[in-house]
């Protein structure tokens, strides 16, 4: 299981992102290890609004999005 986590990638911020920013495809990239959403799950965060600022490389999760987006 640890091997799979280390081999897979997660969706992360491609740059520093501001609170209230709408997530676009240019705002995301994929990094190892897989601590978050896998490639293919982008629709869970794309076109959603951030509820808090995120740093480059930080894992993007639905819980980081505002409830009204």
Q: What is the DSSP string of the chain?
A: -HHHHHHS-EEEESS-B-TTPBP-GGGEEEESS-SSPPTT-GGGTTTPBBSS-B-TTPBP-GGGB-TT-
Q: Which residue matches tokens 């992102």?
A: 17
* Average pLDDT per block of 10 residues along the chain, 69 residues long: 65 97 97 86 96 96 86
pLDDT number for residue 59: 95
pLDDT at 35: 83
pTM for the whole structure: 0.83
pLDDT of residue 3: 52
- Return the pLDDT at 6: 54
């Amino acid at each position: 299981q640890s091997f799979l986590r280390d081999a897979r990638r997660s969706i992360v911020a491609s740059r520093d992102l501001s609170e209230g920013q709408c997530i676009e495809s240019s705002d995301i990239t994929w990094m190892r290890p897989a601590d978050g959403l896998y490639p293919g799950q982008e629709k869970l965060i794309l076109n959603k609004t951030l509820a808090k600022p995120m740093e480059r490389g930080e894992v993007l999760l639905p819980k980081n999005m505002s409830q009204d987006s």
